[in-house]
Structure 1
């Protein structure tokens, strides 16, 4: 005999109501504005503009990157010749602020370095990481776990979305910082905790030995990363973020992308 308990319900994650109706701009920390991050920042500006047109409070973005623009960055990353020598975060944030009329902030240092010497730690509701190494991800995971224990406040960290790629493949994974309280549902199985990339794929990351080395030319850089892998990941990841703000519920928490085979595999909640 079938009962309601026997019915296999679909897993779903409900984002906090604050996503849809924040009283202040929703805070976002973007860590790394190179190949993926430079494209993602522009996508965030588009999301912000669209949200505000819909009556939403919009986004407040802080970008972190210690690197300066170099000649090999041109073409694969969204920088121009006259920005060579400028800090990447500063160059991009200045451009976005002028174009969209925002007042977003740039930090010309690594995220971990900034938190070490700033008393009022710049935490954010969601952290987006576009970094190249396992060590950087481990550092971010540790800092987010540490700041989450400091109590409730407006910029309390709730989510971490990580972007990573190789030459022509990559992944985006959304995780919660702690547990997000879920409403009761008879139709869905609500999931309040989404494991981080370190918790779920830590052993694979360590085995991959990721290590981003500087390139002497665009041709050399393209030998390690395809021209469109970064922008493809950024656009699909931004679409996931947009879904969080517009629908407030997620059936999928990320994806694997194989650009060589034009194949995307969604990661279910």
Structure 2
């Protein structure tokens, strides 16, 4: 009987190494945060805390531009981070001003939607290294994906789009996806299998997104009505967990996960591996 020798090959873990420009930048990392509602308002605060921590670690920090054309209504109070004295103000302006006063930052607000105009032109100040979307409809996601894929139109190398993180949620469930804009060059590694390209959520789950678009975009008239659409804490939990994923990119320089699914009703979270 012929003996067979089976060689056991070590299975390498898949990881994505953070783009080097984010680890040791000369200038603050530019971030476009799109959407200042339930998740976006929480995300801006999380980014401000992250910026403070990064600068304390001798990192250049973050420079955030918040995009939203919505005005604050009574239905936004409590569930979103707005006060009664801010009623009628633009969400992006109220949040940016508050963060700037509290943290001493100079972050900017845009009171328009992040989308192409009728002449197919990109919005001004659209360029950023990291794009974070907290939008409430599928059409907006596809529009933003189209803009990011045309990064060649952004011109100079400075603030070249590198990463896109997308947040989405229902009443009790949500998900976060991290994507790369193109391929991020990876270092050689004997320990890991490196992954340079993380697909867009619109490419990987495009059909599912289209089929699931049943949400009602009609503005809520009260907090009670708003809570029928989204639970009180789903947005803040998603924002904290998504921020932790970005923080790990900076702090650890790599990630084994490109997002997660969350069910707040049964407290179950499922990571999305590379």
TM-score, normalised relative to structure 2: 0.93
2:51 alignment counterpart: 48
1:245 alignment counterpart: 250
1:46-86 alpha-carbon deviations (Å, 9 max, x no partner): 00001001100000000000100000000110000011100
Matched, 1:185 2:166: no
Q: Which moved more, 1:190-199 or 1:143-152?
A: 143-152
1:233 alignment counterpart: 238
In 1, Cα distance between the equivalents of 2:123 and 2:259?
A: 33
Once superposed, what is the RMSD of the aligned Cα atoms?
1.7
1:218 alignment counterpart: 223
In 2, Cα distance between the equivalents of 1:119 and 1:210?
A: 28
1:263 alignment counterpart: 268
Q: Any runs of at least 4 consecutive aligned residues in structure 1 with deviations exceeding 3 A, and if so which?
A: 1-4, 113-121, 148-152
Where do residues 19-98 of structure 1 align in structure 2 (5 Å cutoff)? 19-98=22-101
1:163-192 alpha-carbon deviations (Å, 9 max, x no partner): 000000000000000000111111111000
Contact 2:180 2:197 in 1 (8 A): yes
TM-score, normalised relative to structure 1: 0.95
Structure 1 residue 202 displacement after superposition: 0.9
Where do residues 168-179 of structure 1 align in structure 2 (5 Å cutoff)? 168-179=172-183
Q: How many residues align?
A: 268
Q: Which runs of 5+ in 1 are unaligned?
A: none
In 1, Cα distance between the equivalents of 2:123 and 2:39?
A: 29
1:196-252 alpha-carbon deviations (Å, 9 max, x no partner): 110111111111114332101100110111000000000000000100110110001
| Secondary structure of the corresponding residue to residue 29 of structure 1 | strand
Greater percentage in helix: 1
| Secondary structure of the corresponding residue to residue 170 of structure 1 | strand
